[in-house]
Amino acid sequence: MEEYKQILIYVLGFVWILFASDYFAKFFKKIRLPLITGFLFTGIVCGPHLLGLIESEALKDLGFINDISLAFIAFAAGSELFLKDVRSRINSIVWNTVGQLVVTFTAASVIVYLLGDYIPFMQNMTTGSKIAVAILAATIFVARSPSSAIAVISEMRAKGPFTQTAMGVTVLIDVLVIVLFAICFSVAVTIISGVAFSMSIFIILLLELLLAVGAGYVLGKLISVILALRLKLIVKTILILSAGYGVFLLSHYVQEYSATHLQFEIHVEPLLICIIAGFSVTNYSKNRLEFRKILHDTGPVIYVAFFTLTGLMLSIDVLAEVWLIALVLFFVRLITLIIGAYSGAILAGDPAICRRIGWMPYVTQAGVGLGLATKVAGEFSVWGAEFATIIIAVIVLNQFVGPPLFKWAISYKGEAHVRAETPVFDGSHDAIIFGLEDQSMALARQLHKHDWGVKIASLKKQDEVPQVMDLAIEFIPGLDMSALKMLECSKAETIVLMLSDEENFRICELVYENFGTREIIVRLNHRENFNRFHELGAIIVEPATAMVGLLDHFVRAPIATSLLLGMEKGQDTEDIEVLDKDIHGIALRDLRLPTDILILSVKRKGHMIVTHGYTRLRLGDIITAVGSAESLEELRLKFEI
């Protein structure tokens, strides 16, 4: 009982460190460093070698958190290999994977072995032990980072054959590296334990792989059953993580039982079991969307716990001694990676440009590599901690260098679709409405009343449209860049899309990537297209739900709703951007505003702030104000000029 109380105390202490880790990691993100680096750094600082907020003995009792995290990481890695997404690029993916796997593993194994005399913990090892360390290190060097790759691709909105191949290779290698690690781990244990090689060793190894595949299939079915149950999502998440942890417990039990009761030891790799389970659920289950949602929602908590715990386990004294060898191994991995990627691109018949930059997407490492390093540290108590410290240092370097290289490669290949820079406000409010109909003309006239310059763009022919004297109607031949330039979209503050969803999305994407227009408003026709527009930051108006929402607000707050809609006589609302440098940093209570003006909210970098007198304004803030038309005009002149 006392033991469990002690573990509970350690867990509570670790939770407090996690809050600190999550908080400080955000500072790393602000200086464009990965969150993972922040988690590791916080763990190092709070660990037993610096601040000592947690003892070395406690880390052993927190081992179950490491096992749960590794199971989750393996589930996530397996779930990223969705066969339907990669079938069009399968030839290039397979050959690039083969090239990198074979070349990187072989070359890195040889070089690490040759560097053995310069690595402190390897200097007094036997030849066999050096080979074991070399193949384990080379296996981890092969590992990639699907999560980091997905983050870069999402940030760059990358689409195209280069991006598709990079993602497919990244995921496939992480699946295969678990298999490779299971083989190399068993070989390393055999070498270091001094057991002579025989045919029975290979038979046992084959048996271990078959058992892992079978167990992974069964676990996948179990997860599918859990997902099919009518339970809350949090309960399903706990059950899935418990199943993953159960795999690690089962693996430890089988290993101990076989060592005690049999003449040989059976090691069934739990990471391989979990990665096969994740792959099975994603590709052969009806519940894969819910499974991905669980992985997505649970990921942040798992990653902060795993990487912080890894930082706590790092030996600072060892790191100070081996930083130079870590730097050397970083370049060893980089060189072997370049050679492997170039070889794979040649085998796949990829274009010359892909051969030159084909290695850049694969530099980054994260979860799987760190997981394998900590597993080695747990198995080989004599030198495992020093091994893990060096490998983790290499992975951290890869985290610094990898994402910027991948971003550059995507841009160089022309597959980036990032938002263009928002143009500077020119002092006049301009809007372009796509679609000529009663609603668009009514909107144009309403905006005219508020001194907006409005154009209506129509795909119809001029002779098909009755002449409208009070509106500016532009007839365009199609929805391409030449048409958008003719409409002078670069000068528009707002673009309103009232065509079909496909036509709206085509315009939305072109405007997003080429003009960076501040506001894109879309009238949605079909609910299933909501996410496509939402990802581009568009304001989405769904006619049916918008009407229900409007009626709801009229029922619950009729005065406020009519005020915001400009229905109260002499009163209106307006969004105004803060462009005057003299106002930057001044609190609202210190501003000389018209007496009938009320500041409702401030939008800053996409986040809404409910204001009070002490709210300080910043350049670029967009304030929402209510008041008379004259006072709003006075306020606009004060803030925008």
Show me where the domains of the chain are located.
69-412, 430-541, 571-640
Beta carbons of 156 and 419 less than 8 angstroms apart: no
- Does pLDDT of 462 surpass 80? no
* pLDDT at residue 583, as a whole number: 83
Q: How confident is the model at residue 154 (pLDDT cuts 50, 70, 90)?
A: low
CATH domain 571-640 topology: Alpha-Beta Plaits (3.30.70)
CA distances from 230 to 201, 227, 235, 236, 378 (A): 46, 8, 10, 9, 38
pLDDT(321) > 80:
no
The answer to whether residue 85 scores a pLDDT higher than 70 is: no
Tokens 């032990």 belong to which residue? 129
Q: What is the mean pLDDT of residues 178-193?
A: 81
CA dihedral 415, 33, 47, 10 (to 10 degrees): -60
Residue 357 has pLDDT above 80, yes or no: yes
pLDDT (0 to 100) of residue 51: 77
Please report which confidence band the pLDDT of residue 34 belongs to, taking 50, 70 and 90 as the band edges. Answer: low
More confident residue, 181 or 424: 181
Residue owning tokens 């007839």:
475
Mean pLDDT of 160-175: 81
Please give the residue that has the higher pLDDT: either 83 or 577.
577
Predicted structure pTM score: 0.67
pLDDT at 566 over 70: no
199: pLDDT strictly greater than 70: no
Question: Measured between alpha carbons, how far is residue 267 from residues 214, 262, 294, 481 in Å?
Answer: 14, 13, 29, 60
Residues 98-122, mean pLDDT to the nearest whole number: 87
Q: Which residue has the higher pLDDT, 33 or 498?
A: 498
559: pLDDT strictly greater than 80: no
Q: What's the fold here for domain 69-412? A: Na+/H+ antiporter like fold (1.20.1530)
* 567 has a pLDDT exceeding 70: no
Share the mean pLDDT of the chain. Answer: 81
CA 3/CA 58 separation, integer angstroms: 11
The mean per-residue pLDDT over the stretch 318-335 comes to 83
Question: Is 139 in contact with 180 (CB distance < 8 Å)?
Answer: yes
Task: Give pLDDT tens digits for 209-262.
Answer: 788 888 889 998 999 989 888 888 888 989 999 998 898 888 888 878 887 877
pLDDT exceeds 70 at position 563: no
C-alpha span between 350 and 244 (Å, rounded):
39
Would you tell me which CATH number, out of the four given (3.30.1310.10, 3.40.228.10, 3.40.50.720, 3.10.20.740), belongs to the domain 430-541? 3.40.50.720
For residue 61, is pLDDT > 80?
Answer: no
